[in-house]
Amino acid sequence: MLGVVGFEKLPPIEETQVPITASMTPSLGANDTVCEVWRVGGAGVQLSNGAAQGSRVSYRFCDELLFGSITIDERLLEAGYALGGAPDNGCVDAVALSRATEIAYQEIFGVLRETEHRHLIRIWNYLPEINRETGGDERYRLFNSARQLAFRKSGQATVGTVPAASALGSPAGSPISIYFLAARQPPKMIENPRQTSAYYYPPKFGRHSPIFSRACVMHQSAGTNLFVSGTASIVGHETIHQGDVGAQTRETMANISALLDEVNRVVGAARYRLDGLKFKVYVREPADLGAIEGALSRSLPSSIPIVYLQADVCREDLLVEIEATGESGSQ
């Protein structure tokens, strides 16, 4: 076992050697003990636990793959900045969020350098009140600017060879929670022909673009090796079907279908299908759950594993976001 992720709260697991974290996003229509487990298998796999000096990152790894997590309570940073005489609460909040994001990513990259798992495959970001304005800008946009600064300071690419990712909003008062997978061998990064690459979004979406690929594929023949980033009702770079959660869900699935076609084209074989994926669905308004389930039932069989979570999406006009993982099928 590499790591365990709870949703609304930390999972009740006593295995102290395994990194344990939580996204702080409540489950919808499911038992609150459901959690996400990352494992590696195979004969002779040796697991090591991380203990980087001065780092808040908890991690575990084998020769090929590393799972890690970090949480930072930005309120503790806010208290420090307030005592330092920052001009107003909005400025304190903005500075604390930016600093917490930069610290988290710098410490993540420090671990990856130390263990030589230099290639981020997939990263999940959860920050409280993602759409709230503070210090004259939206918190998600401040996060994007701080993330890009951390990537640049650490010598990481900010276009092209960037990890698959998601960024969702957790409830007020939650810590920033980030978890990730990294490898020693580079994955294949995939972009969606229907969508502008996120790192090329125009300035109307913020001074600094998000840093993520639409999907990535690991170079391994068995097990989970496809990672689909958080996907929403965006065509090109614009949100479509504003206010219509059913239409947004259907458009999101059209984007994922197009992405799978592109993945299969890149790998040179029809290895991935919609009915071979596992899904995580983020719902902005819990009252929309029934409409989203109904829309998904038209394109997915009832046996498909789906977890529904309540979370704010990175744009206020987006009502649903869907991510997925997949295993390579036969050619």
Helix (H, G, I), strand (E, B) or coil at 232: coil
Helix axes 139-153, 89-115, angle to 10 degrees: 40
Q: Per the residue annotation, which of 78, 102, 321, 323 is the catalytic one?
A: 321
* Joined tokens for residue 248: 């947004």
Cα 308 from chain centre: 15
Helix (H, G, I), strand (E, B) or coil at 134: strand
Angle CA 3–37–294, to nearest 5: 140
Cα 106 from chain centre: 17
- Phi, psi (deg, nearest 5) at residue 251: -65, -35
Closest CA to 64 of 43, 37, 46, 38: 46
Beta-strand pair 58-61/48-49: antiparallel
Is 133 labeled as catalytic in the residue annotation?
Answer: no
* Rounded Cα distance, 218 and 120, in Å: 11
Closest CA to 73 of 128, 138, 133: 128
Cα dist. 24→210, 250, 313, 317 in Å? 22, 26, 14, 22
Scanning 84-177, the segments in alpha helix (DSSP H) are: 89-115, 139-153
Q: Please give the torsion angle defined by the CA atoms of residues 25, 179, 279 and 288, in that order, rounded to the nearest 10 degrees.
A: 20
* Rounded Cα distance, 32 and 40, in Å: 25
Whether the Cβ atoms of residue 293 and residue 322 lie closer than 8 Å to each other: no
Helix (H, G, I), strand (E, B) or coil at 209: coil
Positions marked active-site: 321
